[in-house]
Amino acid sequence: MPDFPAHASPAFPPISSPRPKHGDRTVSELNLDRNGKHDDHSHPPLISPAFTPPHTPFHDDKRQHTLPVEELERRPSNHLPELPIVHCEVRARIPTTTGQEMFLHLYHNNVDAKEHLAIVFGPHIRSKSLDAPRPGETERDRMIRGAYVGTLYPGRTSSRRVQEIQKEAGARPSAGYLSGLNGPTQHQPAPSESDDGSEFDSIYPPSLGPPLVRIHSECYTGETVWSARCDCGEQLDEAARLMSLPAPTPVSTPGSEASDEHQLQHQIQANGKLPSCGGVIIYLRQEGRGIGLGEKLKAYNLQDLGHDTMEANLLLRHPGDARSYGLATAMLLDLGLGNPNPTPENPGLGIRLLTNNPEKVRAVEGRNREVRVVERVAMIPLAWQTGGKEGVQGKELDKYLGTKIEKFKHMFAPG
């Protein structure tokens, strides 16, 4: 047997051993020397892009530092034939350490059993499925699951249904009116008809421009245990910071200066800060680019053996990136940030997407562009912005970011 290095993986070239039948396999059992051929008795190829390494990384005792980039062809975004069905079960107000407030929305869906989240900043974005009445529920039930407008306080007895507001107004309530109801104030202004009388969909004020949106995949290591292998925690913090920035003062129209000033002062008194322009972080439970925490930790060990983050996933027989974004599209539609039936005349409210990943832009928009990305906002690492004075730093992060640029084709410049 050849004298392989002690850290070689696989430890020996499999010749005729059968492929394992169980999902818990070691790298040495993967039988990589198959030249891309699969018979009827083998598992279907799972890696993405559709490429099986022709040799082990240590074939002929020659170390290969990277898999051939030219063979890792990019695939078009694979949109689902139909968007998943999502349902917001509950939301709650979360005061943050920055002094701003956000509403945490918990979603269920018909695709998986996970609880995905929408972190909503600002008073202008509401969930349609949350606000919809449910059979047999009381006003207290609605308030407990977060389907209320305004602010909860001891002794409150009414949730003030959005549907009732529409009925009382005789038309779609104005954006300013509904924003006031959803904001920190307990005093509810009188409804007024909208200019177009169109169906109630989004209450996000056009004067603020397209809202910021971040589609963020769960990263326990980067967000909770201070890992410097990635910048996921830093990106989550930066997205929250940007969405918590004060909203610009709206341009007043003749006769509206007094009411605008009064409403602004009341909001400042209510929570001590200017209201934020807001936005949404869609938090998807797809750890490790979709492979799960256990497999992700195995991939970390492969990275310590010299492989990059994409190679590690491929060697574990996983896609380089196994994530999907149909749930994110469906959740944004539920939050009123898209149009389920877009037309050239009514394409829906556009969003500004915080991402460096061009594949994510195409995937989030959906097959029929139900969500319209009007701008890609780059997320530049803080260490790059500050010349190394702030932000996550380390040799592992440098290699990780390099792989993102070289193999995942991420772009760290404004789009």
Active site residues: 321, 323
The whole-angstrom separation of Cα 310 and Cα 65 is 12
Please report which helix (H) or strand (E) contains residue 227, including its range. none
Tokens (6 digits) for 34: 């198959």
Q: Half-sphere exposure (CA, 13 Å, Cβ side) for 246? A: 10
Residue 348 in contact with residue 342, Cβ under 8 Å?
yes
> Where would I find the H helices in 103-231?
128-131, 139-144, 162-169, 175-182, 220-223
The whole-angstrom separation of Cα 359 and Cα 319 is 15
Tokens (6 digits) for 404: 């993102």
Tokens 């449910």 belong to residue: 134
The β-bridge relationship of strands 212-217 and 350-354 is parallel
Is the peptide bond between 13 and the residue preceding it cis, with omega within 30 degrees of 0?
no
**Please, is 271 exposed, middle or buried when counting C-beta atoms within 10 Å of its C-beta (0-12, 13-18, 19+)?**
middle
CA 193 to chain centre: 34
In 10 A of CB 108, how many CB atoms? 17
28: nearest Cα among 316, 311, 300, 319: 316
